[in-house]
């Protein structure tokens, strides 16, 4: 096993708003997909590797409580600036971690989710 995590989903209530937030913040193009009652906007990833998406479907709601996923960034300060510009809010950070792990921050997205950022050392 290379990783315990193989997929993640960030709950959203307004897919257009969430895509408008995440594409410029993470500087990626999200790929829309629809399966039965699930609407996704998939983050780019290379197989084999961990993939993930914004997800809209009945029974899930955005939350600032619960599990926190950390998205990769090469420039934490610039990403935090883009978050504020896009309407999000920095919760805390940047915080440099010990042992050369890197730097992290938490933010609240346009949907009310608490999401982490990690910049490797």
For 93-112, write each residue's pLDDT tens digit.
999 999 999 999 999 999 99
Residue 2 lies in a domain: no
pLDDT value at residue 1: 53
DSSP, residue by residue, 35-71: ETTEEEEEPP--SSS-EEEEEE-TT----SSS---EE
**Total domains, the chain:** 1
Question: What CATH number corresponds to the domain at position 27?
Answer: 3.10.180.10
Residue 1 lies in a domain: no
What are the pLDDT digits (tens) for 10-69?
Answer: 999 999 999 999 999 999 999 999 999 999 999 999 877 889 999 999 999 999 998 999
Residue 45 lies in a domain: yes
pLDDT bin (cut points 50, 70, 90) of residue 84 is very high
Whether residue 3 is predicted with pLDDT greater than 80 in this model: the reply is no
Residue 85 lies in a domain: yes
pLDDT value at residue 31: 98
Residue 89 lies in a domain: yes
In 3D space, the residue among 16, 5, 44, 27 whose CA is nearest the CA of residue 85 turns out to be 27
pLDDT value at residue 49: 82
> DSSP secondary-structure letter at 26?
H
Structural domain range at position 74: 7-119
């Amino acid at each position: 096993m290379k990783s315990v995590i193989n997929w993640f989903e960030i709950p959203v209530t307004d897919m257009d708003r969430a895509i408008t937030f995440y594409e410029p913040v993470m500087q990626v193009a999200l790929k829309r997909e629809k399966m039965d009652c699930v609407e996704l906007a998939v983050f780019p990833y290379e197989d084999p590797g961990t993939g993930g998406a914004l997800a809209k479907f009945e029974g899930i709601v955005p939350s600032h409580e619960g599990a926190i996923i950390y998205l990769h960034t090469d420039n934490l300060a610039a990403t935090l600036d883009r978050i504020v510009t896009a309407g999000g809010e920095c919760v805390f950070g940047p915080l440099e971690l010990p042992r050369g792990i890197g730097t992290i921050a938490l933010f609240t997205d346009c949907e009310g989710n608490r999401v982490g950022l990690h910049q490797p050392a």
